[in-house]
Amino acid sequence: MGDLIRALAEADWDAVDTLVVEIGQQGMANGLRVIGAAFALAANRRFGPNTTPTEVAHWVAGLRAQYRGHEPFPALEMEGLIRAALGEPELVDTIAPETALGAELFMLGQILLDQNLSATELDELVTDAEELAAEHL
C-alpha cells in the first residue's frame, strides 16, 4: 500500500491504476484499511479539528471544479468522508465501499499533491497509516 500512496503523492497515475487493479484482484482488505488510514491522517493534517462543514464543502467544490465535466465522485459523499475522518464517522454509513475507496484515493492524491511532502514525510505518513490500520484489525 505504501507504493500506492507514494504513486498518489507523485501523481503517477499509471502506477496508481496498476496498483488499484492489483488490489481488486487480490482482495486486499488489510491494504484497503491502510488507504483509509492514510486518507484519515491526511485529511486531519489538511483540515484540522476546527474545520467547519462549510469549509469542507468549499474545498470539495473547488476540487470538483478542477475536473468540471469529469467530476469523479458525488460531492456529498466526498464531504462525508472528510467529515468522518475529522470525527463524524456516522456520515459514511450509507456510502458504498467502492465509492468510498475511490473517493478516498482521489482526495488523498489531491491532499498529498497540495502538501508536497518530502520523501521522509511521505514515509512517515505511510508508516503511521500502516500502524493505524493495524490497530483497527
Q: Model confidence over 14-27: pLDDT tens digits?
A: 888 887 777 666 55
User: Which of 17-31, 72-86, 101-115, 121-135 bottoms out in mean pLDDT, i.e. has the lowest?
Assistant: 17-31
Cα gap 122→39, rounded to integer Å: 13
| Number of residues in the chain | 137
- Kindly state the cell numbers that stand for 48: 484540522
pLDDT score at 28: 57
Residue range 27-49: mean pLDDT, rounded: 83
- Name the more confident of 124 and 1: 124
Contact 51, 86 (CB under 8 A): yes
- Is the CB of residue 112 less than 8 Å from the CB of residue 126? no
97-121 tens-digit pLDDT: 888 888 998 999 999 999 988 989 9
What does the pLDDT read at residue 49? Answer: 83
Can you give the pLDDT at residue 66? 87
* Residue 72: pLDDT over 90: no
Q: Taking the complete model, does pTM exceed 0.85, yes or no? A: no
Pick the closest to residue 2 from 27, 25, 19 (CA basis): 19
DSSP class of residue 86 equals T
Q: Count of alpha carbons within 13 Å of 1, Cβ hemisphere only? A: 26
